[in-house]
Amino acid sequence: MRCPFCGFPESKVTDSRDNRETNIIRRRRECLAENCGKRFTTYERVEQQNLMVIKKDDTRQPFSNDKLLSGMLRACANLPIPVKKLEEAANDIEQELYAGGYGEVRSEEIGKMVLSHLKGLDDVAYVRFVSVYRNFTNVSEFYAELRGLMQEKPAVSAPAAADDGAEAESEPEGAAAAAPEPAPAPRRQSRQRRDFEKPPLDVVGG
């Protein structure tokens, strides 16, 4: 395996992980060149039978995981979606196609599978992809799809603060006037009375 940085033909594997669900082996490698030593990642995929994709014009092309991922990346451009999530979705779709034993599959069927994954990741990415997949020709079609998506979302309940405000408004207008009045300040005692009530010196330790 040649190093993608310096082209040196020898490297060593520092980590290897096998994904049994997708039949993909992820290997972390380190370049053995003295002046390089950089690390890079490679993926080993089990070779499957040829799968042909039937396009809309009935032409046929070999299935490509890279093209599938590229289309999903364009739909998710400038959105906070990790690339790893899209790679996993593309691998899941590919695995499902091969597991189904398809020799040929129409591009429309692959599009439906992509939409199913994007719908669970991000609504904006879903709308972007569906507008291309269904080839919308006017705003009405776009709005109908968007309205259907919004209707599938659960209704948002009103915040609790609104209930508190309603209760506050239902209080009688004279509620503020019913507040208790402050107690009057104690009157100052005369000096003669204070002296009379003063305890003996031996009690206070004097």
Question: DSSP assignment of 105-169, as one string?
Answer: EEHHHHHHHHHHHHHHH-HHHHHHHHHHHTT--SHHHHHHHHHHHHHHSPPPPPPHHHHHHHHHH
Residue 203's φ and ψ, nearest 5 degrees, are -75, -40
Extents of the domains making up the chain = 1-47, 48-152
Which has the closest alpha carbon to 71: 133, 29, 149, 22?
133
Residue 76 confidence (pLDDT) above 50: yes
Assess whether pLDDT exceeds 50 at residue 88: yes
pLDDT at 37 over 60: yes
Distances from the Cα of 165 to the Cα of 160, 161, 169, 175, angstroms: 9, 6, 6, 15
**CA-derived radius of gyration, the chain:** 37
Task: Record the tokens describing residue 77, joined without a space.
Answer: 């451009």
Full-model pTM: 0.50
> What integer is the mean pLDDT of 138-165?
58
Q: How confident is the model at residue 195 (pLDDT cuts 50, 70, 90)?
A: very low
Encoded tokens for 206: 């004097």
Per residue in 161-175, pLDDT (tens digit) is 444 444 444 444 444
